[in-house]
Structure 1
Amino acid sequence: MARRKDIDGSMSVPTFYGKELRWKRERAGLSLEETVEGSFYGKSHLSDIERGERRMPLELARHVDQVLGTDGFFERCCEDVGKARRGPHAAYFQQVLEAERHAESIEEWCPSTIPGLLQLGPYARAQVRSAHPMAADDWIEEKVTARLSRASLFDANHDTPEYWAVLHESLLTDPVVPPHEMAAQLDRIAELTNRHRIVPQLVLRKSGPYPLMAASIMLMAFDDAPPLVYTEASYSGTTTDDPALVKQYRKAYDRLRAVAQAPDVSLAMIEAAVEEYRNGRQPDRLE
């Protein structure tokens, strides 16, 4: 029988329950593979939960309770773990923050703002300040720093997920920061593209009606868990793994990509906009 390891109640909630999960699993004499057998999740996902790096989905919690005979313990714990915040990110964004680090692919559609994963400091600061105009400067900087830290996903030493971003033309032609800062921001996107870290596509104003016109979404796929969809508004966000809804968003995103410009054409338009801003001019339509 496994010896119970001491659990420090001062540690983070996900870490606390992760250690409890490992102890109960080992006490039952089960491997990671045996514990997840019959679920839609892989052993790496469960291992990450035990280390406190991921939160247990409700569906997996119910499966674990059944396998380990824990009488609904982990299902009940899901609410506590779900409420636990990490850092300055919004509570509703916590699941995305964890999931994107483990994703095999990430696909975003952003009609009104450059995606957080691609933002530089000035752009991120302008976005956060516009949403919280009365906040203290140090609070704003904490939010900006947290947002910029997500970009480590594209570091050379990181196992980078396949990242696809569909952007609206207005993000290039309607600046929210001064020209030199817009040049740097768009050059960041071009640089990541030329390093083969991301693939951008642009939807032009002249495209007419297209799917997801009123939505900002992120699709995430994993090799050890079902896919997720995250939708966001100004002060709220929702993450779902409902198969029917994920499938509907998947189809809509694929149709949106068909409307967008080809990646090489989009890159050329982004680089042309960079030069316009560097010369102190605001780009006109990209047609």
Structure 2
Amino acid sequence: MTVKVVLVGCGNMGHAMLAGWLKSGQLIPSETFVAEPNTELRARAEKLGVTTGASAADLPAGTPELVVLAVKPQVIRDVTAGYKHLGNGQTSFVSVAAGTPIATFEEVLGDKTPIIRVMPNTPAAIGKGMMVVYANAHVRPETKKFVDELLAASGAVATVDDEKLMDAVTAVSGSGPAYIFHFIEALTAAAEHAGLPTETAKLLAMQTVYGAASLAAESGEEPGLLRQQVTSPNGTTAAALNVLMGDDRLKTLLTEAVEAARLRSIELGK
């Protein structure tokens, strides 16, 4: 059977995506080839039943439908060059390298190469990620649909039609998990300051964030309405929200944080 998908790089993100593809049934092992220079990471991939090799030189004969590049941005150009022989053809390339514009891949592979840029985030490792996609004009609709289905095994998928928006995506969902982790840290510290034991404080903070996010995702209600539903007039929640929402304090702080990340993403992409 001809290899359908080549995964280049099988570190934590690559392995998580691969496991999701196979578990969901979107791919079967015989359709998949993993190129990974690290012996231990190759062995881990082989446990999933796929064929592996150290580099592009080990690719099996034939033309794959997709080459998924899951390597660090610092080496993306050099690694991509190994697949130049598949450029300007029927193979579409999918990159999950943060901050690397499609123009970089077109320069290496050829300007008629179908290229899809994806911005995932770390919860993709447990199937709870947010994947945002931008495709150039050479990507066929059926290929885009196939890629969306693959990515859906790792979480939710959204599309933007302007590549410049990927900097905002990076600032919101790409970097966003770190904001939430820090919020959990801060809420834990506040709980300890209020007198709760450390382990109890951690549990309350983490489960509250998890439960609230799950409720927002599954209820179908707007977050603002959910907030109102748990806020009694002059009650304890209202007292806390007066601090967080007074003069738009939290909204202003998050807006400044996202903008700082967006501007840094633009700088890194130059």
Specify if TM > 0.5: no
Q: TM-score, normalised by structure 2?
A: 0.28
Bigger helix share: 2
Larger relative contact order (Cα-Cα within 8 Å, sequence gap ≥ 6): 1
